[in-house]
Structure 1
Amino acid sequence: MPDISLTTLVVLCIAAAAAGWIDAVVGGGGLLLLPALLLGLPNTGAAHVLGTNKAVAIVGTTGAAVTYVRKAPVQVKTAVRIGLAALAGSMTGAFFAAGISSDVLRPVIMVVLLAVAAFVLLRPSFGTADAADRRRVTRSRTIAAVVLVGGGIGFYDGLFGPGTGTFLVLALTAVLHLDLLTASATAKIVNVCTNAGALAMFAYQGTVLWQLAALMAVFNLAGGMAGARMALSRGSGFVRGVLLVVVFSLVAKLGFDQWNA
């Protein structure tokens, strides 16, 4: 583990807990966790930062997924099919991640966040129960979810990672007409698979800071399970509100960092 001050370690653990909570509610905890790791480990290569991020995130995501499956109406078979495609995609993306520079991550994350914010704001009924029930999901839509949502977003998760959970929630809502709460629950199962595939590749390449990841993972797990319980008790409207707050807060933070870089 690199030489890290106690203050930095505490901040990283707090960020891991907050990221776990955000990821469980609406996805996209990596949009907080990855920038925190980039700032806390400025002299560490991008591949090691991405690998450590995956080792932390998979623990919280798994805890949230278990909580959701026990209490939310999740179609586990559909989630697993999408997840298997996502696992293959994430391993492929992680294979190419070693060549990525840390300098390109911040602007990419900003563009992704702005796109998410615009989509949610322009579709007020997106993710509501009424909108989700309007159309029956066809077999072709299910296949599209497996190939495009699983494979495509899985590849992105292995290559970059930040925002994967949010993209999964949005894509599952749009393609399978799920409400935001059910989409968030389903996304957790898929996200476990994408994290597992990417982590396996990063571990094989030796780009995971295991000691740091193990400590942060404890806080990420606590945040993830707390977030899942809160989302289940408050419903889709709460999830939508958290999504918008998180997106705009992170855009502002990353924009400030980029401006002062």
Structure 2
Amino acid sequence: MTTDISLSTLLVLCLAAAAAGWIDAVVGGGGLLQLPALMVGLPHVPPAHVLGTNKAVAICGTAAAAVAYARRAPVNPRTALRIGLAALGGSLAGAVFATGISNAVLRPLIMAILLAVLAFVLLRPTFGTAVPTAEPVSRRRTLAAILVAGLGIGFYDGLIGPGTGTFLVLTLAAILHMDLVTASGTAKIINVCTNVGALVTFSLHDSVIWQVAAPMALFNLTGGAVGARMALKRGSGFVRAVLLVVVVSLVCKLGYDQWGG
């Protein structure tokens, strides 16, 4: 599918992709910015094509962040890949369902997710800054992580996507007692797997607008690499404030488009 898009709109989408890659690398949730930005910038494009284009962009920034974390953070590749393979299957299934979703369902659903994330971040002032207590991880907890973070969140990522990185970080920290940096690095490896699964499905259905995805991907990759390095050096307290501003702004914009336009 091809679509007419102005240079100014494409530039704004590229800047949103860079910011999304940065946010996603540091604290997760870059899709909360990127997917709504695509919905606003491409208002007449079918939802499946918006979702597919989002995946084609997101995989670049996520991969760059995963490499940066793997080099410097204490990530267990075996655990990450086991969960990632389950997430790959879940993402493939979710993307199959996503190819038939309508815009009337997608926009309110994105708004509900944004509001839920906003409420969580507001009610948890230490989100993104607290370090969980390290404890031995049992095989039972590992299996729970595979089911919840792998199959469950993987399916969600293939179906919709925004907030997946944040949900993965929270789940890994809660179930496997990872510290924030390790959870973020592990989440990026898992997220690469979910993005691959979803992107394969969307590509087979010809639901990716490559002329939009390609330039956005370059910006997203840069943002992801920079964000991962900043997270490893400075933590994510500042990004928490940025995420709040972004989520509030997007809720207002999508709400206006849904009911006020």
Under a length normalisation based on structure 2, what TM-score does the superposition of the two structures give? 0.92
What is the RMSD of the two structures over their aligned residues, measured on CA atoms?
1.9
Q: For this pair of structures, how many residues does the alignment match?
A: 260
* Structure 1 runs not aligned, ≥5 long: none
Identify the residue that residue 158 of structure 1 maps to in structure 2. Answer: 158
Q: Give the Å deviation of 1:26.
A: 1.1
Listed one character per residue, the Cα deviations across residues 110-159 of structure 1 (whole Å, up to 9, x for unaligned) are: 222232233344445556555x1154322211110001111000001111
Identify the residue that residue 12 of structure 1 maps to in structure 2. Answer: 13
Identify the residue that residue 225 of structure 2 maps to in structure 1. Answer: 225
Q: Which amino acid aligns with 1:154?
A: G
Identify the residue that residue 55 of structure 1 maps to in structure 2. Answer: 56
More displaced, 149-158 or 204-213?
A: 204-213
Helix, strand or coil for the counterpart of 1:202? helix
Aligned ranges 1:136-175 → 2 under 5 Å: 136-175=136-175
Identify the residue that residue 111 of structure 2 maps to in structure 1. Answer: 110
Listed one character per residue, the Cα deviations across residues 149-174 of structure 1 (whole Å, up to 9, x for unaligned) are: 11000001111111111111111111
- Is the CA contact (8 Å cut-off) linking 2:60 and 2:220 kept in structure 1? yes
Aligned ranges 1:215-254 → 2 under 5 Å: 215-235=215-235, 237-238=237-238, 240-254=240-254
Identify the residue that residue 75 of structure 2 maps to in structure 1. Answer: 74
Taking a change above 3 Å as real, the CA distance of residues 180 and 241 of structure 1, as seen in their structure-2 partners, is farther
Identify the residue that residue 210 of structure 1 maps to in structure 2. Answer: 210
Taking a change above 3 Å as real, the CA distance of residues 181 and 251 of structure 1, as seen in their structure-2 partners, is farther
Taking a change above 3 Å as real, the CA distance of residues 171 and 105 of structure 1, as seen in their structure-2 partners, is same
Q: Which amino acid aligns with 1:30?
A: G
* Structure 2 runs not aligned, ≥5 long: none
Under a length normalisation based on structure 1, what TM-score does the superposition of the two structures give? 0.92
Listed one character per residue, the Cα deviations across residues 54-93 of structure 1 (whole Å, up to 9, x for unaligned) are: 0010011100110111111111111111100000000001
- Identity %, equivalent residues: 70
Cα separation, 2, equivalents of 1:125 and 1:177: 16
Q: Give the Å deviation of 1:249.
A: 4.2
